[in-house]
Amino acid sequence: MSSLSGNAKIAGVIGWPVAHSLSPRLHGYWLRTLAIDGAYIPLPVAPENISDALKALPKLGFAGANVTVPHKEAALAVVDEVSETANRIGAVNTLICKPDGTLFGDNTDAFGFIENLRVGAPAWDPDAGRALVLGAGGAARAVVTALIDAGVMEICLSNRTLARADDVAQYIGGNVAVVPWDARDAAAQGATLLVNTTSLGMAGKAPLEMDIRGLADDAVVTDIVYAPLQTPLLASAQARGLTTVDGLGMLLHQARPGFEAWFGVQPEVTDDLRRYVLEGPG
Ligand code: ATR
Protein backbone atom coordinates (compact mmCIF):
# COMPACT_ATOMS: atom_id res chain seq x y z
CA MET A 1 0.00 0.00 0.00
CA SER A 2 1.51 3.29 -1.06
CA SER A 3 1.29 6.30 1.26
CA LEU A 4 -1.06 9.16 0.49
CA SER A 5 -0.45 12.89 0.62
CA GLY A 6 -2.97 15.44 1.83
CA ASN A 7 -3.80 16.05 -1.82
CA ALA A 8 -4.70 12.44 -2.54
CA LYS A 9 -7.74 11.90 -4.72
CA ILE A 10 -10.31 9.53 -3.24
CA ALA A 11 -12.88 7.33 -4.95
CA GLY A 12 -14.59 4.07 -4.07
CA VAL A 13 -17.35 1.61 -4.77
CA ILE A 14 -20.75 1.88 -3.12
CA GLY A 15 -22.71 -1.35 -2.79
CA TRP A 16 -24.61 -3.55 -0.32
CA PRO A 17 -22.91 -5.85 0.27
CA VAL A 18 -19.65 -4.71 -1.25
CA ALA A 19 -17.16 -7.22 0.17
CA HIS A 20 -17.30 -9.39 -2.96
CA SER A 21 -16.50 -6.47 -5.31
CA LEU A 22 -13.36 -6.79 -7.42
CA SER A 23 -13.30 -3.03 -8.08
CA PRO A 24 -11.01 -2.03 -5.15
CA ARG A 25 -8.47 -4.57 -6.39
CA LEU A 26 -8.83 -3.43 -9.98
CA HIS A 27 -8.48 0.30 -9.29
CA GLY A 28 -5.82 -0.42 -6.65
CA TYR A 29 -3.70 -2.15 -9.30
CA TRP A 30 -3.89 0.89 -11.59
CA LEU A 31 -3.19 3.34 -8.74
CA ARG A 32 -0.12 1.35 -7.71
CA THR A 33 1.31 0.64 -11.16
CA LEU A 34 0.73 4.23 -12.30
CA ALA A 35 2.12 5.60 -8.98
CA ILE A 36 -0.89 7.85 -8.43
CA ASP A 37 -1.50 9.77 -5.22
CA GLY A 38 -4.98 8.36 -4.72
CA ALA A 39 -7.10 5.66 -3.11
CA TYR A 40 -10.13 3.59 -4.08
CA ILE A 41 -12.04 2.08 -1.18
CA PRO A 42 -15.05 -0.19 -0.59
CA LEU A 43 -18.03 1.76 0.76
CA PRO A 44 -20.76 -0.50 2.18
CA VAL A 45 -23.99 1.53 2.17
CA ALA A 46 -27.36 0.08 3.19
CA PRO A 47 -30.31 0.88 0.88
CA GLU A 48 -31.98 3.20 3.44
CA ASN A 49 -28.83 5.36 3.49
CA ILE A 50 -28.08 5.56 -0.22
CA SER A 51 -29.45 9.05 -0.82
CA ASP A 52 -27.57 10.58 2.15
CA ALA A 53 -24.39 8.71 1.27
CA LEU A 54 -24.37 9.85 -2.36
CA LYS A 55 -25.09 13.46 -1.45
CA ALA A 56 -22.22 13.35 1.05
CA LEU A 57 -19.59 12.38 -1.53
CA PRO A 58 -18.91 15.90 -2.88
CA LYS A 59 -19.05 17.31 0.67
CA LEU A 60 -16.38 14.84 1.77
CA GLY A 61 -14.14 15.81 -1.13
CA PHE A 62 -14.46 12.56 -3.04
CA ALA A 63 -13.45 12.66 -6.69
CA GLY A 64 -16.30 10.26 -7.40
CA ALA A 65 -17.35 6.64 -7.01
CA ASN A 66 -18.69 3.56 -8.66
CA VAL A 67 -22.16 2.38 -7.76
CA THR A 68 -23.03 -1.28 -7.79
CA VAL A 69 -25.85 -3.63 -6.82
CA PRO A 70 -28.44 -2.77 -5.52
CA HIS A 71 -27.99 1.00 -5.86
CA LYS A 72 -27.62 1.64 -9.61
CA GLU A 73 -31.24 2.63 -10.19
CA ALA A 74 -31.50 4.65 -6.95
CA ALA A 75 -28.39 6.61 -7.92
CA LEU A 76 -30.06 7.73 -11.12
CA ALA A 77 -32.72 9.52 -9.08
CA VAL A 78 -30.29 11.15 -6.63
CA VAL A 79 -27.64 12.70 -8.91
CA ASP A 80 -27.87 16.33 -10.06
CA GLU A 81 -27.08 15.55 -13.69
CA VAL A 82 -27.23 12.33 -15.72
CA SER A 83 -25.42 11.38 -18.91
CA GLU A 84 -27.52 10.49 -21.92
CA THR A 85 -26.29 6.89 -21.74
CA ALA A 86 -27.15 6.47 -18.06
CA ASN A 87 -30.59 7.88 -18.76
CA ARG A 88 -31.16 5.45 -21.61
CA ILE A 89 -29.96 2.47 -19.57
CA GLY A 90 -31.92 3.62 -16.52
CA ALA A 91 -29.01 3.13 -14.13
CA VAL A 92 -25.87 4.89 -12.92
CA ASN A 93 -22.63 3.01 -12.23
CA THR A 94 -20.12 5.87 -12.23
CA LEU A 95 -20.33 9.12 -10.24
CA ILE A 96 -18.20 12.17 -10.77
CA CYS A 97 -18.08 14.94 -8.16
CA LYS A 98 -17.86 18.21 -10.07
CA PRO A 99 -15.89 21.25 -8.86
CA ASP A 100 -19.16 23.12 -8.16
CA GLY A 101 -20.16 20.44 -5.65
CA THR A 102 -22.73 18.72 -7.84
CA LEU A 103 -22.90 15.03 -8.67
CA PHE A 104 -22.80 13.76 -12.24
CA GLY A 105 -24.02 10.22 -12.98
CA ASP A 106 -22.82 8.16 -15.91
CA ASN A 107 -23.11 4.54 -17.00
CA THR A 108 -20.00 2.87 -18.41
CA ASP A 109 -21.38 -0.70 -18.59
CA ALA A 110 -22.34 -0.33 -22.27
CA PHE A 111 -18.85 1.01 -23.04
CA GLY A 112 -17.28 -1.86 -21.06
CA PHE A 113 -19.33 -4.44 -22.90
CA ILE A 114 -18.56 -3.20 -26.40
CA GLU A 115 -14.85 -2.58 -25.69
CA ASN A 116 -14.51 -6.10 -24.35
CA LEU A 117 -16.31 -7.50 -27.39
CA ARG A 118 -14.17 -5.51 -29.83
CA VAL A 119 -10.92 -6.56 -28.15
CA GLY A 120 -11.96 -10.19 -27.71
CA ALA A 121 -13.60 -10.63 -31.12
CA PRO A 122 -12.03 -8.09 -33.50
CA ALA A 123 -13.63 -9.77 -36.51
CA TRP A 124 -17.17 -9.32 -35.13
CA ASP A 125 -19.15 -7.10 -37.50
CA PRO A 126 -22.20 -5.31 -36.04
CA ASP A 127 -23.74 -5.24 -39.53
CA ALA A 128 -23.31 -8.96 -40.14
CA GLY A 129 -26.52 -10.20 -38.59
CA ARG A 130 -28.85 -10.69 -35.69
CA ALA A 131 -27.83 -10.50 -32.04
CA LEU A 132 -29.60 -12.59 -29.40
CA VAL A 133 -29.42 -11.23 -25.85
CA LEU A 134 -30.55 -13.39 -22.92
CA GLY A 135 -31.76 -11.75 -19.70
CA ALA A 136 -33.62 -8.61 -18.71
CA GLY A 137 -31.77 -7.13 -15.73
CA GLY A 138 -29.61 -4.03 -15.60
CA ALA A 139 -26.82 -5.76 -17.51
CA ALA A 140 -29.19 -6.59 -20.37
CA ARG A 141 -30.23 -2.94 -20.62
CA ALA A 142 -26.58 -1.89 -20.91
CA VAL A 143 -25.80 -4.60 -23.48
CA VAL A 144 -28.81 -3.80 -25.67
CA THR A 145 -27.98 -0.08 -25.54
CA ALA A 146 -24.38 -0.83 -26.55
CA LEU A 147 -25.49 -3.02 -29.46
CA ILE A 148 -27.90 -0.37 -30.76
CA ASP A 149 -25.12 2.24 -30.58
CA ALA A 150 -22.70 -0.13 -32.33
CA GLY A 151 -25.13 -0.31 -35.26
CA VAL A 152 -26.62 -3.80 -34.83
CA MET A 153 -29.77 -3.72 -36.92
CA GLU A 154 -31.62 -6.70 -35.45
CA ILE A 155 -31.65 -7.49 -31.74
CA CYS A 156 -33.68 -10.29 -30.14
CA LEU A 157 -34.17 -10.23 -26.39
CA SER A 158 -35.23 -13.33 -24.48
CA ASN A 159 -35.89 -13.71 -20.77
CA ARG A 160 -37.53 -16.29 -18.52
CA THR A 161 -40.00 -13.64 -17.38
CA LEU A 162 -41.31 -12.30 -20.66
CA ALA A 163 -42.81 -9.14 -19.12
CA ARG A 164 -39.34 -8.01 -17.94
CA ALA A 165 -37.97 -8.34 -21.49
CA ASP A 166 -40.99 -6.37 -22.76
CA ASP A 167 -40.20 -3.64 -20.23
CA VAL A 168 -36.57 -3.47 -21.32
CA ALA A 169 -37.49 -3.30 -25.02
CA GLN A 170 -40.06 -0.62 -24.36
CA TYR A 171 -37.76 1.41 -22.11
CA ILE A 172 -34.86 1.36 -24.53
CA GLY A 173 -36.80 1.63 -27.78
CA GLY A 174 -35.15 0.87 -31.10
CA ASN A 175 -35.14 -2.40 -32.96
CA VAL A 176 -35.56 -4.89 -30.14
CA ALA A 177 -37.77 -7.94 -30.70
CA VAL A 178 -38.84 -9.80 -27.57
CA VAL A 179 -38.71 -13.59 -27.80
CA PRO A 180 -40.29 -16.04 -25.30
CA TRP A 181 -37.76 -18.03 -23.26
CA ASP A 182 -38.96 -21.28 -24.89
CA ALA A 183 -38.20 -19.83 -28.32
CA ARG A 184 -34.61 -18.78 -27.62
CA ASP A 185 -33.11 -21.71 -29.55
CA ALA A 186 -35.17 -20.78 -32.61
CA ALA A 187 -34.07 -17.14 -32.26
CA ALA A 188 -30.45 -18.31 -32.30
CA GLN A 189 -30.85 -19.69 -35.84
CA GLY A 190 -28.41 -17.80 -38.02
CA ALA A 191 -27.58 -15.24 -35.30
CA THR A 192 -24.05 -13.82 -35.39
CA LEU A 193 -23.88 -12.78 -31.73
CA LEU A 194 -25.16 -14.47 -28.57
CA VAL A 195 -24.88 -12.65 -25.25
CA ASN A 196 -25.78 -14.20 -21.90
CA THR A 197 -26.62 -11.55 -19.29
CA THR A 198 -28.51 -13.92 -16.98
CA SER A 199 -26.91 -15.34 -13.88
CA LEU A 200 -27.13 -18.86 -15.31
CA GLY A 201 -23.72 -20.52 -15.60
CA MET A 202 -22.35 -18.66 -12.59
CA ALA A 203 -20.57 -20.82 -9.99
CA GLY A 204 -23.27 -22.37 -7.80
CA LYS A 205 -26.07 -21.70 -10.30
CA ALA A 206 -27.60 -23.93 -12.94
CA PRO A 207 -25.96 -23.82 -16.36
CA LEU A 208 -27.74 -21.99 -19.16
CA GLU A 209 -29.58 -24.44 -21.34
CA MET A 210 -29.10 -23.20 -24.86
CA ASP A 211 -28.81 -25.02 -28.16
CA ILE A 212 -26.08 -23.17 -30.02
CA ARG A 213 -26.06 -25.41 -33.10
CA GLY A 214 -28.17 -22.92 -35.08
CA LEU A 215 -25.79 -19.99 -34.63
CA ALA A 216 -23.97 -18.79 -37.74
CA ASP A 217 -20.54 -20.37 -38.33
CA ASP A 218 -18.84 -17.01 -37.74
CA ALA A 219 -20.91 -16.22 -34.65
CA VAL A 220 -19.41 -14.77 -31.47
CA VAL A 221 -20.62 -15.97 -28.06
CA THR A 222 -20.08 -13.84 -24.98
CA ASP A 223 -21.08 -14.21 -21.37
CA ILE A 224 -21.13 -11.48 -18.77
CA VAL A 225 -20.64 -14.12 -16.06
CA TYR A 226 -16.93 -14.23 -15.15
CA ALA A 227 -16.92 -16.69 -12.25
CA PRO A 228 -16.08 -19.15 -13.67
CA LEU A 229 -14.24 -17.50 -16.54
CA GLN A 230 -15.20 -20.30 -18.85
CA THR A 231 -18.92 -20.87 -18.36
CA PRO A 232 -20.59 -24.02 -19.73
CA LEU A 233 -22.01 -21.79 -22.51
CA LEU A 234 -18.57 -20.56 -23.57
CA ALA A 235 -17.16 -24.10 -23.35
CA SER A 236 -19.85 -25.42 -25.70
CA ALA A 237 -19.31 -22.51 -28.12
CA GLN A 238 -15.58 -23.15 -28.11
CA ALA A 239 -16.18 -26.83 -28.78
CA ARG A 240 -18.18 -25.76 -31.83
CA GLY A 241 -15.25 -23.65 -33.00
CA LEU A 242 -16.96 -20.29 -32.39
CA THR A 243 -15.19 -17.19 -31.11
CA THR A 244 -15.88 -16.67 -27.42
CA VAL A 245 -15.39 -13.65 -25.17
CA ASP A 246 -15.45 -14.04 -21.39
CA GLY A 247 -17.11 -11.63 -18.99
CA LEU A 248 -14.12 -10.40 -17.00
CA GLY A 249 -13.16 -7.90 -19.69
CA MET A 250 -16.49 -6.07 -19.37
CA LEU A 251 -15.76 -5.43 -15.69
CA LEU A 252 -12.23 -4.25 -16.46
CA HIS A 253 -13.18 -1.98 -19.37
CA GLN A 254 -16.21 -0.40 -17.65
CA ALA A 255 -13.81 0.83 -14.96
CA ARG A 256 -11.62 2.82 -17.36
CA PRO A 257 -13.69 6.02 -17.83
CA GLY A 258 -14.26 6.47 -14.08
CA PHE A 259 -10.58 5.99 -13.28
CA GLU A 260 -9.61 8.55 -15.90
CA ALA A 261 -12.17 11.07 -14.65
CA TRP A 262 -11.12 10.76 -10.99
CA PHE A 263 -7.37 10.29 -11.24
CA GLY A 264 -6.57 12.02 -14.55
CA VAL A 265 -4.78 9.11 -16.22
CA GLN A 266 -6.10 6.74 -18.87
CA PRO A 267 -5.56 3.20 -17.53
CA GLU A 268 -5.01 0.10 -19.65
CA VAL A 269 -6.51 -3.36 -19.54
CA THR A 270 -3.63 -5.84 -19.73
CA ASP A 271 -3.14 -9.58 -19.24
CA ASP A 272 -1.26 -8.82 -16.04
CA LEU A 273 -4.28 -6.88 -14.73
CA ARG A 274 -6.60 -9.77 -15.63
CA ARG A 275 -4.40 -12.20 -13.71
CA TYR A 276 -4.16 -9.90 -10.69
CA VAL A 277 -7.91 -9.26 -10.50
CA LEU A 278 -8.69 -12.96 -10.85
CA GLU A 279 -6.64 -13.69 -7.74
CA GLY A 280 -9.04 -11.38 -5.77
CA PRO A 281 -11.04 -10.18 -3.99
CA GLY A 282 -9.03 -11.10 -0.86
P1 ATR B 1 -28.80 -7.90 -13.30
O2 ATR B 1 -29.60 -6.67 -13.03
O3 ATR B 1 -27.48 -7.93 -12.56
O4 ATR B 1 -28.61 -8.21 -14.76
P5 ATR B 1 -30.99 -9.64 -12.27
O6 ATR B 1 -32.03 -8.62 -12.28
O7 ATR B 1 -30.78 -10.44 -11.03
O8 ATR B 1 -29.55 -9.15 -12.67
O9 ATR B 1 -31.28 -10.62 -13.49
C10 ATR B 1 -30.77 -11.85 -13.58
C11 ATR B 1 -31.25 -12.44 -14.90
O12 ATR B 1 -31.03 -13.85 -14.87
C13 ATR B 1 -32.72 -12.23 -15.16
O14 ATR B 1 -32.91 -12.01 -16.53
C15 ATR B 1 -33.33 -13.54 -14.69
O16 ATR B 1 -34.56 -13.88 -15.30
P17 ATR B 1 -35.97 -13.38 -14.65
O18 ATR B 1 -36.15 -11.98 -15.12
O19 ATR B 1 -36.98 -14.30 -15.22
O20 ATR B 1 -35.82 -13.50 -13.17
C21 ATR B 1 -32.27 -14.51 -15.15
N22 ATR B 1 -32.35 -15.79 -14.46
C23 ATR B 1 -31.97 -16.06 -13.19
N24 ATR B 1 -32.19 -17.37 -12.90
C25 ATR B 1 -32.75 -17.94 -14.00
C26 ATR B 1 -33.21 -19.26 -14.34
N27 ATR B 1 -33.13 -20.29 -13.46
N28 ATR B 1 -33.69 -19.48 -15.60
C29 ATR B 1 -33.76 -18.45 -16.48
N30 ATR B 1 -33.34 -17.19 -16.23
C31 ATR B 1 -32.85 -16.93 -15.01
10-residue stretch averages of pLDDT, the chain, 282 residues long:
89 96 97 98 98 98 97 97 97 98 98 98 96 97 98 97 98 94 98 98 96 97 96 98 97 98 98 94 58
pLDDT score for 175:
86
For the question of residue 72 being annotated catalytic, the response is: yes
For ligand 1, what atom is nearest to the CA of residue 160?
Answer: 19
Say yes or no: CB of residue 159 within 6 Å of ligand 1. yes
Measure the CA dihedral 201/119/241/189, to 10°: 70
Ligand 1 atom 4, closest CA: 137
Amino acid at 233: L
CA distance 62 to 262: 9
Amino acid at 229: L
Residue 122: is the preceding peptide bond cis (ω within 30°)? no
Residue 232: is the preceding peptide bond cis (ω within 30°)? no
CA distance 110 to 141: 8
Say yes or no: CB of residue 164 within 6 Å of ligand 1. yes
CA distance 91 to 21: 18
Question: 11: which residues sit within 8 A by CB, 6+ positions away?
Answer: 27, 38, 39, 40, 41, 62, 63, 64, 65, 66, 258, 262, 263
280 in Cβ contact with 28 (< 8 Å): no
Residue 281: is the preceding peptide bond cis (ω within 30°)? yes
Q: Which of 36, 44, 41 is nearest to 18 (CA)?
A: 44
Say yes or no: CB of residue 63 within 6 Å of ligand 1. no
Do the bridges between strand 94-97 and strand 81-82 make them parallel or antiparallel, or are there none, so unpaired?
unpaired
Ligand 1 atom 28, closest CA: 160
What secondary structure does DSSP assign to 163-216, as a single string?
HHHHHHHHHH-SSEEEEEGGGHHHHTTT-SEEEE-SSTTSTTSPPP----TTS-
pLDDT score for 264:
98
Say yes or no: CB of residue 158 within 6 Å of ligand 1. no
From the candidates 55, 72, 98, 205, give the one annotated as an active-site residue: 72
For ligand 1, what atom is nearest to the CA of residue 134?
Answer: 14
160 in Cβ contact with 135 (< 8 Å): no
Ligand 1 atom 14, closest CA: 135
**Distance from the alpha carbon of residue 92 to the mean position of ligand 1, in angstroms:** 19
| 3-state secondary structure (DSSP) of residue 65 | strand
pLDDT score for 3:
86
